[in-house]
Homo-oligomer: A and B are copies of this chain.
Amino acid sequence: MKRKVAVVVTARPSYARIKTALKAMEAHPGIDLQLVVAASALLDRYGSASTVIEKDGFRIASRVFMLLEGENPQTSAITTGLGLVEMATVFENLKPDAVVTIADRFETLATASAAALMNLPLVHVQGGEVTGSVDEKVRHAVTKMADLHFVATAKARERVIRMGEDPGRVFVTGCPSIDLAAEVSRLPGNGFDPFAFGVGPTLDLSGPCLVVMQHPVTTEYAEARRQAMETLYAVRDLGIPALWFWPNPDAGSDGTSKAIRWFREHESPQNIHFFRNFPPETFLRLLARCSCIIGNSSAAIRECAFLGVPAVNVGTRQEGRERGRNVVDVPHDRRKIEEAVRFQLGHGPYPQDPVYGDGQAGPRIADLLATLPLSIEKRLTY
Contacts and interface: CB of A to CB of B under 8 A. Distances in A.
A159 to B, nearest CB: 6
This chain: how many copies in the complex? 4
Interface string A125-152: 0000010101011101111110000000
Contacts of A249: 69
Nearest to A128: B380
A109 interface: yes
A87 to B, nearest CB: 7
Contacts of A130: 379-380
A24 interface: no
A114 B77 contact: yes
A88 B84 contact: no
A254 interface: yes
Given A113-B80, A117-B134, A140-B380, A43 B70 contact: yes
Contact of A164 (B90, B106, B159, B378): B159
A201 interface: no
Nearest to A90: B89
A347 interface: no
B73 A65 contact: no
B70 A42 contact: yes
A45 to B, nearest CB: 7
A209 B260 CA distance: 31
Nearest to A106: B117
Among A88, A162, A265, A376, the one with the most B-chain Cβ atoms within 10 Å of its Cβ is A88
Contacts of A45: 69
A82 B78 contact: yes
Contact of A88 (B43, B77, B145, B378): B77
A199 B261 CA distance: 11
A137 B375 CA distance: 13
A63 interface: yes
B117 A113 contact: no
B137 A144 contact: yes
Interface string A71-94: 011111110111111111111110
Contact of A113 (B43, B62, B113): B113
Contacts of A86: 81, 85-86, 89
B65 A70 contact: yes
Contact of A199 (B63, B91, B265): B265
B74 A44 contact: no
Given A64-B89, A73-B117, A78-B84, 5 more contacts: A62-B93, A74-B88, A106-B117, A132-B379, A163-B164
